[in-house]
């Protein structure tokens, strides 16, 4: 059994996340083969790797069960899926350099050669935005992505409906390559309504990528982990139409913490989907209106003057579901007021337990042990608490008070 397969096995164990894997890989001695972990006892994991008793016990039990590994390997072979681990040279170096990167990436592409080329290619940039993105966001994407494709950039996004789908579709339409990082397993691609789009992405020489085991279903808690990978794989992140508290804003925050460039497209001041972008600009994100604004930041060559390709949008023709212009001050004041209220959770509730755990940065593995819950039971709770501003996930993937 190779060390890659051992790492795959570890990644399949419920309750073992990137933080725990990082501790194992960083503290394993050079003369110790990963295969020896199968003979480790709880005290060995605690002593050698500094893991908690609960996490160590999960590793002991998990490594004794080889059925999950056998099933996953069979599914990989049967469905013509590639996987790369932190031990593989094909694993993208830019992602490997973030704190606690995902130990395994599953990839669906035309072939292994395409996979290697896509993951190793340096000029990758993320486009993210709201699931509610409307015609304004679509026009922005139609303006910016074609020049990016012409300058040989690969577009990364999350495969969701709304802005993500717009970015993927426009890239394929422009003859470019795009990578969708999805928040579910590759055999349960989410959303199901994008099944055809995912096929088009692969047919066009792009790929679907997931850090989750193949049959994982989409859960709210999966998406922050997915967003962290979107940011980690890219040199920069472009945010188009995002609410102040949203998945797109979380992705941008990861990008900032990982030292990536962040670009934001301003929008109509009365549109709720402009708040996230405007907030990012206030934090130092670069305001952009065309692709050249991005090229200049990276010193990209063969750029085209954008003076003749400025975004031309008739605001009177935007989506009918968008409300009339409202006073931005009222919206901002309301959000600011709510964000400053300290969360109050009833003692004994799972939210209170999680919030108390997060006083100091801690991993989801550690929260699961303290709360006596399975990780999949915590996903939605953690996601909701992030959106309400009670907690946040830092650049290391640890949860802490916001």
Summarised one tens digit per residue, pLDDT across range 21-33 is: 999 999 887 667 8
Which pLDDT band, with edges at 50, 70 and 90, does 148 fall under?
very high
- Judged against a pLDDT cut of 90, whether residue 313 lies above it is answered with no
**pLDDT digit string, tens, across residues 216-273:** 999 888 888 899 999 999 999 999 999 988 889 889 989 988 999 999 999 998 899 9
- Look at residue 333 in the predicted model and tell me its pLDDT: 40
Contacts with 128 (C-beta within 8 Å, 6 or more apart), sequence order: 157, 158, 163, 164, 167, 227, 230, 237, 238, 239, 240, 242, 247, 248, 251, 252
Write phi, then psi, for 91 (nearest 5 degrees): -65, 125
Give the sign of the dihedral formed by CA 75, CA 80, CA 86, CA 92: negative
* Of residues 259 and 336, more confidently modeled: 259
**What residue ranges define each of the domains in the chain, with the CATH number in brackets?**
3-78 (no CATH), 93-317 (3.40.50.450), 350-401 (1.10.10.10)
Question: Does the structure show a pLDDT above 90 at 198?
Answer: yes
**Is the pLDDT reported for residue 79 higher than 50?**
yes
Indicate the pLDDT class of residue 337, thresholds 50, 70 and 90. Answer: very low
- Region of 397 on the Ramachandran plot (φ > 0 left; ψ -120 to 50 alpha; else beta): left
C-alpha span between 387 and 227 (Å, rounded)? 14
Q: How confident is the model at residue 324 (pLDDT cuts 50, 70, 90)?
A: very low
Q: How far apart are CA 255 and CA 69, in angstroms?
A: 33
Higher pLDDT, 208 or 245: 208
pLDDT at 336 over 60: no
Of 111, 66, 334, 72, give the one whose Cα is nearest residue 202: 111
What pTM was estimated for this model as a whole? 0.80
Distance CA 297, CA 263 (A): 10
Please report, rounded to a whole number, the percentage of residues in the chain having pLDDT higher than 90: 66
The answer to whether the CB of 97 falls within 8 A of the CB of 83 is no
Cβ of 354: how many Cβ atoms within 10 Å? 24
Q: How far apart are CA 128 and CA 275, in angstroms?
A: 14
Where does 159-213 show beta strands of DSSP type E?
Answer: 178-181, 207-210
Pair of tokens at residue 10: 């570890």
DSSP annotation of 395: T
pLDDT tens sequence across 390-402: 888 876 678 888 8
CB 187 within 8 A of CB 222: no
Does 331 score more than 80 pLDDT?
no
Reading the block at residue 375, the tokens are 């990780």
What's the average model confidence in pLDDT over 84-99? Answer: 94
Mean pLDDT of the chain: 87
- Per-residue burial over 357-384, b if 16 or more Cβ lie within 10 Å, else e, is bbeebbbbbbbbbebebebeebbebbbe
pLDDT of residue 326: 33
308: which DSSP letter? T
Q: Beta partners for 179?
A: 156, 207
Q: How far apart are CA 229 and CA 147, in angstroms?
A: 24
Share of the chain above pLDDT 70, in %: 88
């Amino acid at each position: 059994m190779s060390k890659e397969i051992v790492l795959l096995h570890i990644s399949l164990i419920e309750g073992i996340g990137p933080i725990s894997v990082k501790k194992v890989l960083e503290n394993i001695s050079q003369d110790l083969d990963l295969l020896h972990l199968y003979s480790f006892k709880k005290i060995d994991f605690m002593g050698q790797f500094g893991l908690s008793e609960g996490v160590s016990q999960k590793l002991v039990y998990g490594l004794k069960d080889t059925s999950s590994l056998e099933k996953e390997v069979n599914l990989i072979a049967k469905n013509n899926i590639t996987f790369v681990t932190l031990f593989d040279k094909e694993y993208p170096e830019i992602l490997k350099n973030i704190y606690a990167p995902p130990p395994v990436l599953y990839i669906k592409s035309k072939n292994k050669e395409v996979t290697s080329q896509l993951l190793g290619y340096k000029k990758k940039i993320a486009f993210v935005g709201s699931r509610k993105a409307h015609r304004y966001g679509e026009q922005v994407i139609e303006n910016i992505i074609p020049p990016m494709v012409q300058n040989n950039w690969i577009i990364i996004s999350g495969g969701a409906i709304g802005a993500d789908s717009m970015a993927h579709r426009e890239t394929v339409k422009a003859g470019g390559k795009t990578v969708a990082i999805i928040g579910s397993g590759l055999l349960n691609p989410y959303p199901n309504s994008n099944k055809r789009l995912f096929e088009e992405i692969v047919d066009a020489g792009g790929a679907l990528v997931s850090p989750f085991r193949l049959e994982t279903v989409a859960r709210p808690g999966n998406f922050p982990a997915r967003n962290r990978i979107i940011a980690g794989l890219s040199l920069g992140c472009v945010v188009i139409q995002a609410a102040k508290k949203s998945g797109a804003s979380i992705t941008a925050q990861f990008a900032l913490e990982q030292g990536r460039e962040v670009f934001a497209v301003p929008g109509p001041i009365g549109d709720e989907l402009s708040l996230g972008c405007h907030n990012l600009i206030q934090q130092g994100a670069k305001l952009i209106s065309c692709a050249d604004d991005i090229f200049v930041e990276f010193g990209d060559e063969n750029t085209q003057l954008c003076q003749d390709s400025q975004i031309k949008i008739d605001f009177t023709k935007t989506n009918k579901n968008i409300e009339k212009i409202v006073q931005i001050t009222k919206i901002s004041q309301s959000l600011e007021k709510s964000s400053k209220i300290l969360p109050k959770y009833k003692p004994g509730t799972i939210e209170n337990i999680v919030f108390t755990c997060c006083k100091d940065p801690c991993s989801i593995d550690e929260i699961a042990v303290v709360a006596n819950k399975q990780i999949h039971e915590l996903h939605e709770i953690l996601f909701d608490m992030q959106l309400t501003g009670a907690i946040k996930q830092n650049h290391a993937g640890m949860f802490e008070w916001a």
